[in-house]
Amino acid sequence: MALVYFPACGTTQGPADTTGDVALCTAQVLTSSYVATTNHVLVKGFSEVTFKITYTKGAETTTQIKVEGSSDGGTDWFPLGYKATQGSGVSELTVDVLQITGTLTVSTPPFDRRGHALVRCSIKGTGGSPDGTMTIEACGSVNTVRM
């Protein structure tokens, strides 16, 4: 796995608030188990990261993507996507896995990466015989508006 850095994004005034895209994986073939993207990216200095996903469906039924962050140099990885479902007066916290069912190019909503210096994705195909491909690019941004 290689560490990659965001390229600077041009701006006409003030500091840049977003980066250019950086490739986490290019045409990675899906398998039936989660496999981490070829690269992970250093996100220090950015509050959020979005992902551009290009998926070409193969014989698998769906593909699943887990967005992950690491705060210890890449030894341990934790899910950045989660949901808290309210029920019986408590919020049940579960990993929010992204799922795609057909060929698609899409940009995700921003993921809050604060507390993690590195991000990556882990991907897998489900059902059938996974052989589709996926390309994932990341883009960092700074959320300057705080309420």
What are the Cα distances from residue 40, in Å, to 33, 74, 96, 103, 139? 19, 9, 20, 24, 12
Query: What is the per-residue pLDDT for 8?
Result: 59
129, burial (CB in 10 Å: exposed 0-12, middle 13-18, buried 19+): exposed
Within-domain flag for 45: yes
Spatial neighbors of 65 by CB under 8 A, at least 6 apart, are 51, 53, 97, 98, 99, 100, 121, 122, 123, 134, 136
Within-domain flag for 50: yes
What are the Cα distances from residue 70, in Å, to 52, 66, 73, 93? 20, 13, 6, 19
Is residue 27 within a helix (H) or strand (E), and if so which, with residue range?
Answer: strand 22-29
Evaluate if pTM is beyond 0.75.
yes
Query: What is the per-residue pLDDT for 103?
Result: 96
Low-confidence ranges of the chain (pLDDT < 50): none
Within-domain flag for 102: yes
Looking at the structure of the chain, the number of domains it has is: 1
Within-domain flag for 18: no
Domain of residue 124, residue span: 29-83+94-141
Query: What is the per-residue pLDDT for 5?
Result: 65
CATH number of the domain bearing residue 45: 2.60.120.1110
Within-domain flag for 5: no
